[in-house]
């Protein structure tokens, strides 16, 4: 009996070790999963908010995104981390922001590196985990903690800010870039017709954003983020190929009855890829150029800053009445008719206050599944990326020409009209150098020009 009693102690100890410790390990892993999801969600909100388009916080909008518990990124990180349970209950979550070695719950006042490379830390704690056997000797209320750090990265001028001076620019390579290659001209600076005298979106030697800042209601009062303008192909709207509406390419073209605006910006059609993935059924089987608009072109690498890497293809004509651009975009953003009153079913953007709100339209596929029409949403098919090229590159009047991509625009497409003009609002601008200061290293790939990823905390 004494032996049994003694061995019972040993057996219970073993059971405690195995069951209770495994419970701890499982909870630790679940906490890590929650932390990862939270950190990524926070970084994603920062990415799409355009915060990195105002790297010095001149507009004073940062606190609305990451200024403590009321910031949208903080709230999203919290909500996402608490979506999964740790040991059957939602865990306790703390969100902080890091830049230049400083970590605090409020991102305003962080060093300037935050404007280029914001880091979101999420700490997940689950306390009072149940114990099954080790409570025999009074061990209860174990707790586990996991942390995760995610970054958003805007390559603009990162050689001088994000990496410290004398660093190198690490290029970015967003996925699903649309084949609309726009010149590096900001159509709202100035808002009159301009060619070589336009202000640039991004500085071609340092990669920095020229007019950084966030403007409301489509204007340009504070900076480039939030500017709304029309994008039109630099192609005469009839015929097979593309002959120029304006030579050289320009912003704010006037006097053309097929081009809306100003403000407007002309673009060149990009080379259609050999295959496109994720094509919605409304554009499947169509011309590859249209599929690249409605679907996701994963084969063309628009690589930031590499000399003459990308192809303008004038054998494409993106702009005949209700042509490839209109059809592909209608399919992508679920716009009903190009001639009806707008919006006609597609998602909309409320940019009259910051942060900008994306609102679900009546044709948003999720609206059919319980989301109510007009709900604010965090992701939309209307958000697309397009390459910015160095307008110093000459483009031949026919066939293909190679151009250098110096940056990317991320825009929200508000509508497309029957002449294939698109009304877009700038959400993000990313610049990298023109090849004089070649970007170094493997490009950071991502869904957005401001990619997000999990990193090991510095």
In the complex, what is the shortest distance from the CB of residue 287 to another protein, in angstroms, rounded to a whole number? 16
- 343 in Cβ contact with 316 (< 8 Å): no
CA neighbours within 13 Å on the CB side: how many for 146? 21
User: DSSP secondary-structure letter at 83?
Assistant: T
Considering the complex, state which of residue 250 and residue 291 has its C-beta at the smaller distance from another protein: 291
CB 277 → another protein: shortest distance, Å? 5
Nearest-angstrom CA–CA distance, 233 and 316: 11
Beta-strand relationship, 383-389 and 180-183: parallel
- Residue 291 CA to residue 102 CA, distance in Å, equals 45
CB of 191 to another protein, least distance (A): 30
- The strand ranges marked E within 153-209 are 172-174, 180-183
Q: How many Cα atoms are found within 13 Å in the side-chain-facing hemisphere of 455?
A: 17
Closest distance of CB 312 from another protein, Å: 24
User: In 326-382, where do the E strands start and end?
Assistant: 348-350, 357-359, 376-377
What whole-number distance in Å separates Cα of residue 125 and Cα of residue 89? Answer: 11
Shortest Å distance, C-beta 359 to another protein: 10
In the complex, least distance from residue 19 CB atom to another protein, rounded to whole angstroms: 7
C-beta closer to another protein: residue 30 or 286:
30
Q: How far apart are CA 458 and CA 443, in angstroms?
A: 20
Residue number, 221 or 277, with CB nearest to another protein: 277
Nearer to another protein, 12 or 236 (CB): 12
Q: Which residues contact 219 (CB under 8 A, 6 or more apart)?
A: 188, 226, 227, 228
* Cβ count near 83 (within 10 Å): 13
Q: Is 233:312 a contact under the CB 8 Å cutoff?
A: no
Residues 6+ apart with CB under 8 A from 63: 71, 106, 107, 108
User: DSSP states of 39-61 as a string?
Assistant: HHHHHHHHHHHTGGGSTT-TTS-
In the three-class reduction of DSSP (H, G, I as helix; E, B as strand; rest coil), residue 37 is classed as helix
Residue 342 CB, shortest distance to another protein, in Å, is 20
Query: Site residues (CB under 8 A) for another protein?
Result: 4, 11, 15, 18-19, 22, 25-26, 29-30, 33, 36-37, 40-41, 44, 72, 75-76, 78-80, 82-85, 90, 175-176, 277-281, 294-296, 332, 334, 357, 360, 365-366, 368-372, 375-379, 381, 383, 446-448, 452
Which CB sits closer to another protein, 187 or 295? 295
Q: Measured from the CB atom, is 162 or 328 closer to another protein?
A: 328
- Of the pair 7, 398, the CB lying nearest another protein is at 7
Q: In the block, which residue shows the tokens 């209770």?
A: 20
CB atoms within 10 A of CB 120: 30
Minimum CB separation of residue 145 from another protein in Å reads: 18
| Cβ nearer to another protein, comparing 22 with 340 | 22
Q: Cβ of residue 89: shortest distance to another protein, in angstroms? A: 8
CA distance 51 to 272: 32
Q: Which is nearer to another protein, 26 or 236 (CB)?
A: 26
Helix (H, G, I), strand (E, B) or coil at 253: coil
In the bound state with another protein, the residue whose beta carbon lies nearer, of 371 and 440, is 371
Cβ-based nearer residue to another protein, 198 or 294: 294
At closest approach, how far in Å is the CB of 90 from another protein? 4
Closest distance to another protein from the beta carbon of 379 (Å): 4
Residue corresponding to tokens 């915060």: 51
């Amino acid at each position: 009996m004494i032996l049994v009693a003694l061995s019972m102690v040993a057996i219970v100890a073993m059971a405690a070790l195995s069951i209770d410790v495994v419970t701890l390990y499982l909870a630790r892993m679940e906490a890590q999963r929650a932390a990862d999801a939270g950190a990524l969600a926070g970084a994603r909100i920062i990415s799409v908010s355009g915060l990195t388009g105002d790297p010095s916080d001149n507009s004073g909008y940062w606190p609305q995104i990451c200024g403590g518990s009321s910031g949208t990124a903080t709230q999203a990180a919290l909500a996402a981390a608490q979506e999964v349970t740790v040991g059957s209950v939602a865990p306790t979550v703390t969100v902080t922001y890091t830049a230049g070695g400083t970590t605090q719950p409020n991102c305003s006042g962080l060093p300037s590196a935050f404007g280029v490379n914001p880091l979101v830390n999420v700490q997940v704690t689950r306390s009072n985990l149940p114990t099954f056997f080790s409570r025999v000797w009074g061990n209860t209320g174990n707790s586990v903690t996991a942390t995760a750090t995610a970054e958003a990265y805007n390559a603009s001028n990162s050689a001088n800010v994000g990496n410290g001076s004398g660093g190198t620019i690490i290029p970015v390579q967003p996925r699903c870039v649309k084949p609309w290659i726009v010149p590096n001209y900001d159509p709202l600076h100035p808002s009159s017709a301009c060619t070589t005298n336009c202000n640039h979106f991004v500085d071609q030697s340092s990669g920095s954003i020229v007019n950084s800042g966030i403007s409301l209601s489509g204007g340009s009062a504070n900076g480039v983020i939030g500017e709304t303008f029309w994008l039109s192909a630099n192609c005469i709207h009839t015929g097979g190929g593309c002959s120029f509406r304006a030579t050289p390419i320009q912003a704010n073209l006037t006097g053309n009855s097929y081009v809306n605006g100003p403000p407007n910006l002309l673009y060149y059609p990009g080379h259609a890829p050999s295959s496109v993935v994720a094509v919605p059924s409304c554009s499947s089987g169509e011309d590859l150029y249209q599929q690249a608009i409605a679907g996701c072109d994963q084969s063309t690498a628009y690589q930031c800053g590499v000399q003459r890497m990308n192809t303008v293809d004038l054998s494409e004509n993106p702009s005949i009445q209700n042509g490839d651009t209109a059809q592909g975009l209608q399919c992508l953003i679920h716009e009903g008719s190009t001639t009806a009153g707008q919006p006609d079913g597609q998602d909309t953007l409320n940019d009259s206050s910051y942060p900008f709100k994306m609102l679900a339209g009546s044709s948003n596929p999720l609206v059919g599944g319980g989301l109510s029409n007009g709900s604010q949403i965090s992701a939309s098919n209307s958000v697309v990326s397009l390459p910015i090229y160095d307008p110093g590159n000459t483009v031949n009047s026919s066939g293909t020409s190679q151009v250098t991509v110096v940056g990317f625009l991320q825009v929200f497409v508000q509508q497309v009209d029957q002449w294939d003009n698109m009304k877009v609002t700038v959400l993000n601008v990313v610049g990298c150098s023109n090849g004089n200061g070649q970007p170094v290293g493997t490009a950071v790939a991502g869904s957005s020009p401001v990619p997000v990823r999990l990193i090991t905390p510095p």
